[in-house]
Structure 1
Amino acid sequence: MNMKKMIAVFLMVAMMIVSLAGCNSGGSSSGGAETDTYRVAFVARTQADSFAAWLVNEMKSAAEQYPDLTLDVFDGQADDEKVNAAIENAITNGYDAIIVQPNNGEAQRPYVESIVEAGIIAITTNARIEGIDGASSVDADPYVQAKVNADIAIDQIPQNAKVVVLNGPSGNFHADERRRAWEVEFFEKRPDVQIVGEQIAGWNKDEAVRYMEDWVTANSEIHAIISMNDNMAAGALEVVKNNPALSDILSYGVDGTPEATLLINEGTMTSTCLQSAIDLAEANISTVHKLLTGEEDEIHMDIDAILITGENAQAYVDMYTERGLIN
């Protein structure tokens, strides 16, 4: 073989090696087979309240079921500026998908729109932000969540009762819709019931404790606590737990947290609506995987709203115990 032919053969082999190296670059491989790894950011509203913390843990567990997906969690600390900054950082860092749990839907709206504009998959969850073209959503119906409680409260709360109301953050889709459901499904049907205290406690147990202390001081009778989530209901119940005059107080919440199921099971709390962080997390991760792999272009879905009372609370206590959420 002359020198020109040897050079030509050498160049051909070199080109083949470079080509093969290029085919194996990008993504991760296992046993020689190439697989894409998708990077997903979950911007959590906060990890300080019980439901939000539960959702974070379930999101991590659900993501572990998908070997081609990694999940990073960012804590918004119930602060719009921190939530928005986390979204901006996730966009800058080039995540393949960003799941946002809004602190205040309207405050996060332009930032979620920026996710879509950047060509990144966007999902809003707990609560969804309506009307963002190109964004998907995974949520529960907050009106129904409150309605299932209001439907039984109609017969449970006595005539001419005095009640207190604990609200979530103003402008939050879940907070506003749950309060609207109580108005339509209960207060309009029970005009005899008097609201003697109503405040925004922002889903926060400590805030609920503070307001309930004031209401107990100002009112000799309170027949029911109507709360837009379990965390606030649990806080209000702490205030009255050693008060024999309020030992029969009724209390309603939403989320179906481990704490709430224990309180219901022991007869301290009346009812809650399950907003399963397990189902919500599994739906979010399944949805983002379908969007990333191109199985779907856009998805909007709600999980079920299940009423928990003294009749079925033990089943949920058992479930949480098995998952290590109740000792």
Structure 2
Amino acid sequence: MKKWLAVFLVATLIMSMLAGCTSPATNEEGTGEPEESGDKVYRVAYVARAQADSFAAWLANAVKEEADKYDNIVVDIFDGQASDSTQNALIENAITSKYDAIIIQPNNGEAQRPYAEKAVAAGIITITTNARIDGIQGASSVDADPYEQAKVNAVVALEQIPQNANVVVLKGPPGNFHADARRDSWQKEFFDKRPDVKIVGEEIANWNKDEAMNYMETWVQANSKIDAIIAMNDNMAAGALEVIKDDSRFSEILAYGVDGTAEAVLLIEEGVMTSTSLQSAYALASALLDTSNKLLTGVETQIDIDIDCPLINKDNVTEYIEMHKRAGAIR
């Protein structure tokens, strides 16, 4: 009797071990999904720049929604909190966790470069986006052309901003490809052609609305005349406009941004903001998931693409309001 009992216990233990070996795998966030019917389910880490940044939040949400369309891809989203050290730690963790792909939206491209290179060296598919990090052998990218994004605004501003105007400039973080290229574009396409225009305030507001508000409060105290706000993104433009919304001295002020966020298009509709250029998070997300799928499944080995950047102003803003309504960003 004891012999049969021992055999039964050994058989039970072996069956338990086999069951454990075939149980569904999960990633560190607990959101991984099992392989079903022999089909590979790929784990993708999306490392966002900062969820407090309106565009970064828009893009992260769009990526999450787009991923739902793919049965073979699971995306985990991580918040870099506008911190290089936080982002770099998240990338390293994704490498250690052996994700199949890592998508990086850099806070500062050069600071994230060594960690993106580590991901490539580890054999992980690596994609940089908004802004791409150029020159990483083996990495792909999905982005927009920041020089053109600023240029479409600067070209119309040549005629819109009055002679001998006073303007303020709000910049993104130094070293960020988009921040630097947009400012360079404004310089070449506007300021070099309009030497009469005076910059009475220029600061780095790190894409941040609150920082932009703080700088604008200082500028309006020092200048009774400001004719235009030139911001390298919509979030900073909206922050500056918030400061002066009830100040009659600036009722005719012009304001330019980049991104085409829901907030920006509503401000354009109200006649508060002048124009922006679209950097569609929906288009980026669609391209990111399509690119990820092609790279993960071996259809392509290298992909580098840019999305379009049309100008949004009072003449066509309704089209983009409807775009945001369809996506649920405007109700």
**Is TM > 0.5 for Structure 1 vs Structure 2?**
yes
**CA deviation after TM superposition for structure 1 residue 27, in Å:** 5.9
Which one of the candidate residues 288, 294, 297 is aligned to 2:292? 288
1:313 aligns with 2:317: yes
Q: For residues 131-150 of structure 1, what are the alpha-carbon distances to aligned partners after superposition, in whole Å with 9 as ceiling and x for unaligned?
A: 00000000000000000000
Give the secondary structure class of the aligned counterpart of 2:258: strand
Give the secondary structure class of the aligned counterpart of 2:38: strand
The 5-angstrom pairing of residues 90-101 of structure 1 reads 90-101=94-105
Give the secondary structure class of the aligned counterpart of 2:142: strand
Q: Report the counterpart of residue 248 of structure 2 in structure 1.
A: 244
Structure 1 vs Structure 2 CA RMSD:
1.5
1:28 aligns with 2:28: no
Which one of the candidate residues 87, 90, 107 is aligned to 2:91? 87
Q: Report the counterpart of residue 8 of structure 2 in structure 1.
A: none
Q: Please give the alpha-carbon distance, in whole angstroms, between the structure 1 residues aligned to 2:322 and 2:290.
A: 26
Give the secondary structure class of the aligned counterpart of 1:196: strand
1:47 aligns with 2:54: no
Q: Please give the alpha-carbon distance, in whole angstroms, between the structure 2 residues aligned to 1:84 and 1:110.
A: 9
Which one of the candidate residues 124, 127, 130 is aligned to 1:123? 127
Q: How many residues align?
A: 303
Give the secondary structure class of the aligned counterpart of 1:256: coil
1:67 aligns with 2:71: yes
The 5-angstrom pairing of residues 163-178 of structure 1 reads 163-178=167-182
Q: Please give the alpha-carbon distance, in whole angstroms, between the structure 2 residues aligned to 1:27 and 1:114.
A: 27
Q: Please give the alpha-carbon distance, in whole angstroms, between the structure 2 residues aligned to 1:28 and 1:204.
A: 41
**CA deviation after TM superposition for structure 1 residue 322, in Å:** 2.5
Q: Please give the alpha-carbon distance, in whole angstroms, between the structure 2 residues aligned to 1:242 and 1:168.
A: 26
Q: Please give the alpha-carbon distance, in whole angstroms, between the structure 1 residues aligned to 2:305 and 2:38.
A: 32
**CA deviation after TM superposition for structure 1 residue 326, in Å:** 1.4
Give the secondary structure class of the aligned counterpart of 2:249: helix
Q: Does the aligned pair in 2 maintain the 1:227–1:251 contact within 8 Å?
A: yes
Q: For residues 168-217 of structure 1, what are the alpha-carbon distances to aligned partners after superposition, in whole Å with 9 as ceiling and x for unaligned?
A: 00110000000000000000000000000000000000000010011101
Q: Please give the alpha-carbon distance, in whole angstroms, between the structure 1 residues aligned to 2:287 and 2:126.
A: 14
Q: Report the counterpart of residue 186 of structure 1 in structure 2.
A: 190
Q: Please give the alpha-carbon distance, in whole angstroms, between the structure 2 residues aligned to 1:294 and 1:75.
A: 28
Which one of the candidate residues 241, 253, 258 is aligned to 1:254? 258
- With normalisation by structure 2, the TM-score equals 0.90
Q: Which letter does structure 1 place at the counterpart of 2:244?
A: V
Segments of structure 1 that go 5 or more residues without pairing to the other structure are 1-17
Q: Report the counterpart of residue 272 of structure 2 in structure 1.
A: 268
Q: For residues 241-260 of structure 1, what are the alpha-carbon distances to aligned partners after superposition, in whole Å with 9 as ceiling and x for unaligned?
A: 11111100000000000000
Q: Please give the alpha-carbon distance, in whole angstroms, between the structure 2 residues aligned to 1:293 and 1:326.
A: 35
Segments of structure 2 that go 5 or more residues without pairing to the other structure are 1-17, 26-32
Give the secondary structure class of the aligned counterpart of 1:220: coil
Q: Does the aligned pair in 2 maintain the 1:27–1:34 contact within 8 Å?
A: no
Q: Please give the alpha-carbon distance, in whole angstroms, between the structure 2 residues aligned to 1:247 and 1:194.
A: 19
Give the secondary structure class of the aligned counterpart of 1:47: coil
Q: Which letter does structure 2 place at the counterpart of 1:28?
A: E
Q: Which letter does structure 1 place at the counterpart of 2:298?
A: G
Q: Does the aligned pair in 2 maintain the 1:256–1:276 contact within 8 Å?
A: yes
